[in-house]
Amino acid sequence: MAAISSLFTALSALRRNPVIFFGGLISGLVTLPQFATQLAGIPLVPTGLQILTFFIMPFVAAGIYGMAQESLSNQQTSFSTFTAVGREKYVPLLLANLVNFGIYLAFIIVFGIVAVAAVATIGIGALAGGGDFALGTGAIIALVVVALLALVFFIIQFVIQFFPVAVVVDDAGAIEAFGDSYRLVRANILPAIGYWIITFIAGAIVTAPVTGFVIFRTFQNIQDVQSAQAAGGAMPNAAAGLGLSLVEVLSLSAISLALTMLLTAFVSTYAVSFYQAHAAPNVGPDIEGDDVIPEFE
């Protein structure tokens, strides 16, 4: 299977150049403050940090893709590649991320309109005397529309998932990268599905410890609230977030940092490996012979 072959190629590249994990560590350090403040239940700060992270991550992501590309060309990569590619590709990758954010925003707006329309339809049906039939029909229609929108959103994100790699590997522009990703996925549907399944499973396994603990504490807090309501006592402080202690916040943050380092390095290298194995040859005027894989200094 093509996705498996690219997987082994990526693992081999990581083994030859473990410095790629250093790029993953930087990615984890960038996202760590946002994650830690969310765990601590600090209001507003995570949102501000998320905005800041949005403008930092294109540099980090481009640098990791650059190191992965160099390693996959059987060269020794280094941190100088990380910084060089990060600087060179920062602007086009940031612009591409802004375009992708616009796609997210458009779907959020459409989902909001559908939700308002569904509520209005159900309300009008109830006022008109439709009763349970109107409520049931309106809810079913709303669920079908939402499911279709979710499917369309997933398909769009699936076919454009390689746009960051196209920016770095093929020197594509912010808009051109989406077309490159679409053409690659369209020509390799089954391998792309295999790639997505592998990355999804890897992400689920790696993030399971932190995600599982957060889910556990969330249900525990819900049970505490229900118990307090049943006993008629004081309600737990909702502003306390998950109610984690400082030790728990620090421990989860450290675990998340390590897991982010591993997952980011793996997924980035695997994405470049898969893209290079399946993308059509770049025949642009600036690429000839040995210059297919650029050297970053």
Residue 157: give the domain boundaries. 2-281
- How many domains in the chain? 1
Q: What is the pLDDT of residue 117?
A: 77
Q: What CA–CA distance (Å, rounded) separates 192 from 198?
A: 10
Looking at residue 241, its amino acid is G
Q: What is the pLDDT of residue 144?
A: 84
Q: 69 by DSSP, 3-state: which? A: helix
> Do residues 1 and 277 lie in contact, with contact meaning Cβ atoms separated by under 8 Å?
no
Question: Would you say residue 288 lies in a domain?
Answer: no
* Mean pLDDT, all residues of the chain: 86
Q: What is the pLDDT of residue 278?
A: 92
Question: Would you say residue 293 lies in a domain?
Answer: no
Question: Would you say residue 292 lies in a domain?
Answer: no
- Residue 58 corresponds to which tokens in the numbers above? 């294109």
Q: Is the pLDDT of residue 134 over 60?
A: no
Question: Would you say residue 7 lies in a domain?
Answer: yes
Question: Would you say residue 116 lies in a domain?
Answer: yes
Q: What CA–CA distance (Å, rounded) separates 297 from 291?
A: 14
Question: Would you say residue 286 lies in a domain?
Answer: no
pLDDT digits (tens, 9 = 90+) for 13-56: 999 999 999 999 999 999 999 999 999 888 899 999 999 999 99
Q: What CA–CA distance (Å, rounded) separates 234 from 95?
A: 49
Question: Would you say residue 289 lies in a domain?
Answer: no
Burial (0-12, 13-18, 19+ Cβ within 10 Å), 264? buried
Question: Would you say residue 234 lies in a domain?
Answer: yes
- Residue 80 corresponds to which tokens in the numbers above? 């100088």
pLDDT (mean) for 114-125 = 71
- Residue 147 corresponds to which tokens in the numbers above? 């499911």
Residue 159 CB contacts under 8 Å (≥ 6 apart), including other chains: 181, 182, 185, 186
Q: How far is CA 87 from CA 30, 63, 84, 93, 182, in A?
A: 17, 8, 5, 10, 26
Measured at the CA of 154, the angle between CA 150 and CA 158, to 5 degrees, comes to: 175
pLDDT digits (tens, 9 = 90+) for 90-115: 999 999 999 999 999 999 999 888 87
pLDDT digits (tens, 9 = 90+) for 146-191: 889 999 999 999 999 999 999 999 999 999 999 999 999 999 999 9
